[in-house]
Amino acid sequence: MNQAIFFGLGFSSINAAQAMRENGFARIGGTVRSPEKAAQLRADDIEAVLFDGTAPGPEVKRALAEASHVVLSIAPDEGGDPVLAHHRADLAAARGLQWLCYYSTVGVYGDFGGEWIDETAPLVPRNMRSDRRVLAEQAWRDFAAERGMPLCILRLAGIYGPGRSTFDKLRAGTARRVIKPGQVFNRIHVADIARVTALAANRRLDGTFNLADDEPAPPQDVIAHAAQMIGMDVPPDLPIGTAEMTPMQRSFYRDNKRVSNQAIKQALGIELLYPTYRAGLSQILESEQ
């Protein structure tokens, strides 16, 4: 019986859990930080247990003992990957474990001046968060090699979906059209993350893959298109040199690249559900109605 365990039941993982349930996984479990969220997810038949990344989760060992597939969606910190730090031995002892999946980020590549890149590009991260991701990716490769099992690393672009999109920022009055000439970003709809995770799990896909949309675009274009779709005024241009930004926000604008998704589409024989931001925003608006 296939049972998936998610470390970090957040936005992407909960959507992926539902997709895996629809693709034949009889049991779904995972970790959360609070008892309140655990209770909420258990009501939805997700076997949630507590793990905050600072100490072993008291129920995690038991959950892993029955897992066939594990998806890792917790960011590394200064101490490295928290799952390996606290539950490496439990993962090593999980006899039924067949497949691992690690959600990484396209931030590991760094800046390529807007050029197209694929998985063969060198990793030259430009901030500490992405440095830690590079190290965590390798730590999971090493662990998977020790266990002799497939590991699928998905390098995710900017995640969006219902409840977490440009529409929400526009309505909240927080959307800003920060202009940096030539800047583009890839995005990925959460439904595509979910579908790819489920398909990769069923095939026990091994390797490192970008998961990004087909059409990297300037962020200000996305905001303008979303505003027009819901009949709101387009926010004014805000040159990056005058924009107040947190260090984290500014770090995103240091990286400028177009990320190819051909490898994952070829590996699974698919096209994306939402290959452009326009298609993704249309789906979100339809889901609201």
**What does the mean pLDDT of the chain come to?**
96
Note the pLDDT tens digit of each residue in 119-133. 999 999 888 999 999
Identify the pLDDT of residue 123. 97
The domain locations on the chain are 3-159+188-214+259-274
Look up the CATH architecture of domain 3-159+188-214+259-274.
3-Layer(aba) Sandwich (3.40)
Interatomic CA distance for residues 286 and 289, integer angstroms: 5
Note the pLDDT tens digit of each residue in 180-228. 999 999 999 999 999 999 999 999 999 999 999 999 999 999 999 999 9
Q: Is 133:108 a contact under the CB 8 Å cutoff? A: yes
Q: Which residue has the tokens 């929400």?
A: 168
- In this prediction the pTM is 0.97
Q: Is 110:125 a contact under the CB 8 Å cutoff? A: yes
Cα distances (angstroms) measured from residue 161 to each of 83, 142, 192, 224, 251:
27, 33, 10, 17, 23
Q: Where are the alpha helices (DSSP H) in 204-231?
A: 219-229
Note the pLDDT tens digit of each residue in 74-97. 999 999 999 999 999 999 999 999
